[in-house]
Structure 1
């Protein structure tokens, strides 16, 4: 008995798949741009700590702080004035949450953060109140108050205790799971051929 060959085709509805760019549109970064009472050495010249409350006045008065990548003003990730950067001083330090734009800089940064290559922060400021202790070697500067103008996700931080992590929304996580399930079904159907 001869079985006639019959041409078969498979059609898959992939209209619900999201692009990688759409994934990054929904991502954000959160962490600590500065940590209180964490001593660091500044260029071998002196040690420095930041006192709790150092950002309070600046956060209440300055409504236009930017989030950057590596302190580069060409790489703006968010801004308090637009609502894409949120800053809060808590017991640990200067907490931030920035909603990433759909830009090549943000996508590249997200990829580096997913790999674990970049995970720390820094900040740009003018000191408005400080004390110095010259009785220790090296001298110790305690920052008591600053005018904050930017925070940055950086590859090389001055303070090692800072932290930054990539955050994905619940909606995005659900879309990723739907995509994985659909791709698995497609793979299973192709294997059956």
Structure 2
């Protein structure tokens, strides 16, 4: 009789949170900046979305994932720019997972080019941006950003369990 076990995704391999939150006034240099709902919508829907990547501390050499590879998933909801990131099985990925679990790294940032912005005195409102990256960071400009560790997506856990139960039925 053959037996198979279905590997369960390693715990602590998926990060999730908000790389940006809407309507959160944040001091940046000599001005205050806010992000408006819809600011990321065009970037996420366009052909360049596949090249948006996740990095550590705005360092291109510290690549963590990319939309086009399916390892980074981005969406804009009514709160802000939400993300899920499957960490690579690298030293950086393992170390970052541990740093996030411990709370040493607890925020995010993003790299962009403004397409449409509105200035009211010293307040800059980002209305549309070309998003190039999100970054996981210990020192976010926007303090309301967040990153946490998820051990397994509930949908994947159910799918694994269903396949395992189907397999058990087959061998009985």
TM-score of the pair, normalised by structure 2: 0.81
Q: Which has the larger radius of gyration?
A: 1
Q: Deviations over 1:135-166 (max 9, x none)?
A: xxxx1000000000000110100100000001
Matches within 5 A, 1:51-70: 51-61=36-46, 62=48, 63-70=50-57
Task: Measure the CA separation in 2 of the matches of 1:27 and 1:112.
Answer: 12
Q: 2:109 aligns with which of 122, 128, 131?
A: 122
Give the structure 2 partner of residue 29 of structure 1: 15
Give the structure 2 partner of residue 47 of structure 1: 32
Q: Deviations over 1:19-68 (max 9, x none)?
A: xxx836x610000000000000002x100000000000011012210011
Q: Deviations over 1:109-142 (max 9, x none)?
A: 11111111111100000000001011xxxx1000
Greater than 3 Å deviation, 4+ residue runs:
none
Aligned to 2:95, the other structure's residue is in SS state helix
Gaps of 5+ in 2: 158-172
When the two chains are superposed, the root-mean-square deviation of aligned CA atoms in Å is 1.7
Q: Tell me how many residue pairs correspond in the alignment.
A: 146
TM-score of the pair, normalised by structure 1: 0.72
